[in-house]
Amino acid sequence: MRIISKYSLTIIPVLALLLAGTFTSCKKYADPPPYFEDDLDTTNLPVSRRVLLIGIDGAVSSEVKAIAPATITGMLNQAKFQWDAVTDEISTDAASWKTLVSGISYSKHQIADSSFTYTPPQGEDTHGGMPPYYPSMFSYILSSANKSNMRTSFISSWPVLVERVVPEVLDPILTTTDQGVKDSAVKRITTGNPEFMVVNFNAPAIAGKTGGFTQANTAYKNAITQTDGYIGEIMAALKARPEYNKREEWLVIIANTHGGIGNSYGGASSNETTGFILYYNEKFDKMEFTKEGTFVGAEMTGAQGAAIRAVMSDPTAYDPGTGPMTFEMKVKGSLSGSYPGFLHKKELVSAASLIAGASGTGFACFSSGSGDVNIQFKAASGTSPNQRKQTGDLRVFDGASWHTISIVFRQDSAGKKWVKFYSDGIYQDGHDVTDWGSFASTAPLTIGWGQFDFPTAFVRYNVADVRAFNVALSGKEIAENLCLTDITKHPKYNNLTGFWPCNDGLGGRFKNYAPGAVDKDFILENSFKWLSVNPFPCTIPGITDPGRRSFLLTNSGIANIAFYWLGVPVNSSWGFEGDKWLTDYENEFIDFR
């Protein structure tokens, strides 16, 4: 028997394409012939960890759950799985697959379309040097000292994906249909020696674009069912391997790459970006993960050019100088240095100009050295252009607990204008600003570092449940709704103009979920990371079901788990997202005797 090299595999479908004269479609490669490899003597081989990853394009998580296809449903009893996972912040094919195979989400790799070329974010300087480059995880396997000869396979009907995104794969296989993908996977498993295989099905995406991403579309439901049947055939072939669950320990991962809404996909809606992920091994106990009861936030930290901050995409938005407003946010963190800024809509200034009162108009929140909150207002005129007020003895940044800060800009019945603020629903201080003039600012509203008395001081903190109302809330309304778990039940919900839970768990922004809010997200800057935070804010109810775990799985975290299973060391410089949560369950699949 002979081994067909990856170069032979590339030539075979290309020759078939040329002979067929099909130059107009990127998905008309001929199905490859079967693989033939030398039989292996496994008598004295150690246990071999292996991975099968199946990515399904266009499978809406909620629809798959409702359809309950036989193979996937049958695997749940021996799986860790999640129906409300996150694929990515956008749902194009290119972004979804780049995220899946690189372990890096779209906010960083910025691959959006099928050219697989970097698209700089709006406003970014495109002449500042080379764009960031994130190779596929297979490139790291090639450079691994102990895994460089691993037999990797990638089976898809999308040539551009195989040729541009995973060129390091040892055995790339291009087909014309999903059936060809399935047949090739079965042949590879039956006659070859795969160690890390990726399989791509796209029939649900095609059916959804034609008639809708819903089971009410018979063609879509049939595509889900047929894909599930293909997975069943692949699993049957896998379990028929002589060393399956003996010297070969297989981790099977099934995930949708994106969903769809209406007759399309590519956007950021929940139907398009909610994922289902299933990690299967016959030794696993059943555990359903859920986003319920989790807080996965991006920590604000650092100072000056390296500061991790969240900056409002519309610099004119949420300006208290334009009328009544209430701004609320929950914070949890600790100080590094004295008088660090953590929330502001005001120009950044030097310490000298700040003290002299020569800085631009606006407002800013900062902390004293004791961890309480100060608010500075700079108006265009008035007797107190640089007013600061402390909240008293309440330590907001205590490093352990969540605290709520509320700032109210209001006008009373006598026509006087006031600024008042509260900590944890308790009134702290206020000031009559009737004669101050305008303190409107052209600077964007920013969560995170701003320069004040000490330019290198900062707060290391998470922020949650950020709210903006176009009315002045009363003290009673503030106190009674601090821990509201359903924002739609707020008595002033119709006046809600901004609502950022800051619990997105993936992507490069805090998304605005207020009704009617458009282009009003906070954009994250610099080297932020999404991490689980405990304890979580009081607005998030916990779960008590022992069969469910509060945790957020993401497609960008699949590479990290695959490498853990394969025993490939992960270098922190690669930037893989997610963590090795599977180590929490090692007692199920590792014999510690």
Query: For 176-214, how does the pLDDT look when each residue is reduced to its tens digit (9 = 90+)?
Result: 999 999 999 999 999 999 999 999 999 999 999 999 999
pLDDT on residue 49: 96
Q: Give the whole-angstrom CA distance, residue 466 versus residue 477.
A: 16
pTM over 0.95: no
pLDDT on residue 124: 57
Q: Which two tokens stand for residue 441?
A: 């600012």
pLDDT on residue 176: 95
Q: Which two tokens stand for residue 586?
A: 């090692």
pLDDT on residue 388: 52
pLDDT on residue 501: 96
> Can you point out the beta strands (E) in 443-534?
446-447, 458-469, 496-500, 509-510, 522-524, 530-532
pLDDT on residue 35: 44
Q: Give the whole-angstrom CA distance, residue 208 versus residue 262.
A: 8
Identity of the amino acid at 266:
G
Q: Give the whole-angstrom CA distance, residue 91 versus residue 105.
A: 11
pLDDT on residue 346: 81
512 contacts: CB under 8 Å, gap ≥ 6: 498, 499, 500, 520, 521, 522
| Structural Rg of the chain based on CA atoms | 27
Low-confidence ranges of the chain (pLDDT < 50): 1-30, 32-43, 351-358, 382-385
Q: How far is CA 280 from CA 54, 152, 182, 293, in A?
A: 12, 19, 19, 24
Question: Do 221 and 237 form a contact (C-beta atoms < 8 A)?
Answer: no
pLDDT on residue 420: 87
Dihedrals phi, psi of 436, to nearest 5 degrees: -80, -20
